[in-house]
Structure 1
Amino acid sequence: MEIREIRSIEELEKMQQLEVEVWGHPPIPIHQTLTAIKNGGIVVGAFEGEKLVGVSYSFPGYKKGKVHLTSHILGISKNVREKGIGEALKWEQRKIAIERGYDMMLWTYDPLETRNGYLNLTKLHTICDTYIENCYGEMQDGLNKGLPSDRFEVNWHLTSKYVEKKHAIDLTKASIVAPYKMNDLNFPVLAEVNSQLLLEEDVYLLPVPQSFQQLKATDPKLALDWRLKTRSLIQMLFSNGYAAVRLEKGKDVHYYQFIKRELIELT
C-alpha cells in the first residue's frame, strides 16, 4: 500500500471511479478538484499498485477571519476497509497540510456513524463543539436516505499538543447524560430527553447505537428517534460549554465522551 498525494488528471479520474463505488452518486467534476489542487487543496490517495483504493480530498476554507483546510470526502474501497487506510490517509493529509502552512482542518460526519466517530475523535484527536441540523438537506443515497442529514463539524488542531498526544485528558469520572434500554429486537432505545437537565460535571457520556445502519434498516422509526434525541442532548451539551473528544466502544452501545472545553489543552 502506497499513500501519496494525487495531482494528475489521470489519477483524479481514478478518484471519480472510487467515488461512484463508495457512494453511488455522480462524482465531483475533475475541473473542480483540479482547480482546488492548484489553489491550496490537497488530495491524498492510497494505492495498491496502480489501483486507487482510498482517497481523501480537501480544499481551502475561511472562517472567523482565518484560513483552514476543509476536508470534504474520505472514501475507502469496500474490499479493503478495516485495514487502517482511512487513518493513514488522514495523517498524510495532516503532514502535507502543515507543510503548506495550515494549522486547522475542518470536516463533517454523521455523529451516529460510530466507525467515523472512532476514527475522527479517538484516533485522530479531533474535537467537536458544533452540531449542524440537516446539514446537506434530504439526501437520497443509501447511507442517508430517510433521515435528516445532521452532522458534527470537527476541528483538527493540526499542530496542537492535543493532536500530538502530548496532553492527556482524565475521562475516568464520567456521568451518563441519558440512559438506554434494549428492546425485543436487541436494539438500544434511548430514554426521553430531560430538557431541564443540570450539567455540572466535567465529563459526560452519551450512548449511541453500535451499528446505526443496521438499526435503521430494521426499524426506521427507532433510527429517527435516536437522531432527534441525540440531537437535543448534544446541542444541550455544546451550548453549556462541552466538546466531544472521544468515542469509546461498549458491549451494547458505544459512548461519546464530552468534556468541558476549557480543560482541553490545544496550544
Structure 2
Amino acid sequence: MPFAASLASAAQQAQAAAGAAGVRIETVEDPERLFAVSRLLAEVWATPPGHDPLASDVLRSLAHAGGAVHVAFGPGGMTGATAAVFGPPRGHDLYSLIAGAKQGGRGVGYALKLAQRSWALERGVATISWTFDPLVRRNAWFNLVKLGAHAAEYTPDFYGPLDDGFNTGDRTDRLTAVWHLNRLGTPAADIADRPDPDAAPGPDGLPFTARDGRSLWCRVPEDIVAVRGADPARAVAWRTAVQDVLAPALADGYAATSMTRDGWYRLTRP
C-alpha cells in the first residue's frame, strides 16, 4: 500500500474506532487539562494520593518535547488517555508510556491506540513499543490479537515495586510489545493447532505448557489481579512459572505472536 494511502486509511480507521466507542480524541498540551489527565490515570491505575502514574508536569514536558498525550472525551468528560514519546534516533519508533481507560469504556482503549497510530504515521514512525504484564490476559489479547503487535523481550521486575491497585505485592515483570504500524490485528491462535499439553501442571493444577516443532504454548490465568487479591502466594507462583517458560524462550529467539481465546500464548520463531 502506498504511504499516502496508508496514512489516509489509518486516519479513517481511527475515526471509525472513535465513533464506535462514542468518543472524540484530541491531543492535549495545556497544563490544566493535563492535570485532569494525570488524575484520570491515577483513577484507572488505582494509585494512592500523590502517586500518580504520570504527573501533569511530566506529561507537559513530554508533549513539549514532541511527544503526544491523546485523550478520549465522552459525553461525561475524559474517559481515557495515552501518552508517548519518540524512541532512539533513527529508530522510527514511538514509545508508549501509558494507556488507560475508565471501566465501562468499551472500545475507548482501541480508539486511543488507533489515534496514536495515525498520529505516529503522519510523523514517519514505523513502530510503536510499550511494555505490558505477561500475566494480564486481557492486555495480552488486546496487544497481540486486536492490535497485531508481537513481543520478543522479557524483563524481570521492569519497574521495581509499584504500589497501585494492580501490581502491589508482585514483581513487575514485563513483555515489550512492538507494533508494526503497517498492520492492524492478527488472527487469534487456533486452539485446534495446539499440541497435547505437557504433563507438568501450572499453579492451578492444570496443564499450562505445550510444545511442538514449530511453536511453544503457555497458558496464563484468567484474572491475575483477582488471584493476587485472593491468594497472593498463588499469584507469585504464576509469576515464577510463566517467567520460567517465556524468558528463556524469548532469549532463544521465539516471539509471542498470538493468543487463544482461552488464554494460551503462542510463541513462534520469526
Structure-2-length-normalised TM-score? 0.81
1:45-194 map, 5 Å: 45-49=71-75, 51-62=77-88, 66-78=91-103, 80-81=104-105, 83-159=106-182, 163-164=183-184, 173-175=193-195, 178=198, 188-189=204-205
Partner of 2:43: 21
Q: CA RMSD in A?
A: 2.6
Q: Which amino acid aligns with 2:152?
A: D
Question: Aligned pair 1:43/2:43, yes or no?
Answer: no
Post-superposition offset of 1:259: 1.2
Unaligned runs of 5+ in 1: 262-267
Which residue, out of 241, 248, 253, partners 1:241? 253
Deviations, residues 52-102 of structure 1 (Å, cap 9, x unaligned): 110011111217x62421101111113x24x11111110110000110121
Contact 2:151 2:177 in 1 (8 A): yes
Aligned counterparts of 1:137 and 1:88: Cα–Cα separation in 2: 30
Q: Which structure: greater helix fraction?
A: 2
Question: Aligned pair 1:255/2:264, yes or no?
Answer: yes
Count of matched residue positions in the alignment of Structure 1 and Structure 2: 243
Contact 1:174 1:202 in 2 (8 A): no
Q: Which structure: greater strand fraction?
A: 1
1:218 and 1:135, CA in 2 relative to 1: closer, same or farther beyond 3 A?
Answer: same
1:176 and 1:240, CA in 2 relative to 1: closer, same or farther beyond 3 A?
Answer: farther
Question: Aligned pair 1:202/2:214, yes or no?
Answer: yes
Aligned counterparts of 1:192 and 1:4: Cα–Cα separation in 2: 42
Aligned counterparts of 1:50 and 1:8: Cα–Cα separation in 2: 20
Post-superposition offset of 1:50: 6.4
Post-superposition offset of 1:201: 1.7
Deviations, residues 212-251 of structure 1 (Å, cap 9, x unaligned): 111222211111111011101001221232110122222x
Q: Which amino acid aligns with 1:11?
A: R
Question: Aligned pair 1:33/2:59, yes or no?
Answer: yes
Partner of 1:222: 234
Structure-1-length-normalised TM-score? 0.81
Unaligned runs of 5+ in 2: 1-22
Please give the secondary structure, in 2, of the residue aligned with 1:122: helix
Post-superposition offset of 1:48: 1.4
Deviations, residues 139-167 of structure 1 (Å, cap 9, x unaligned): 222211111110011111112xxx245x8
Please give the secondary structure, in 1, of the residue aligned with 2:220: strand
Contact 2:69 2:83 in 1 (8 A): yes
Aligned counterparts of 1:192 and 1:96: Cα–Cα separation in 2: 39
Aligned counterparts of 2:77 and 2:251: Cα–Cα separation in 1: 45
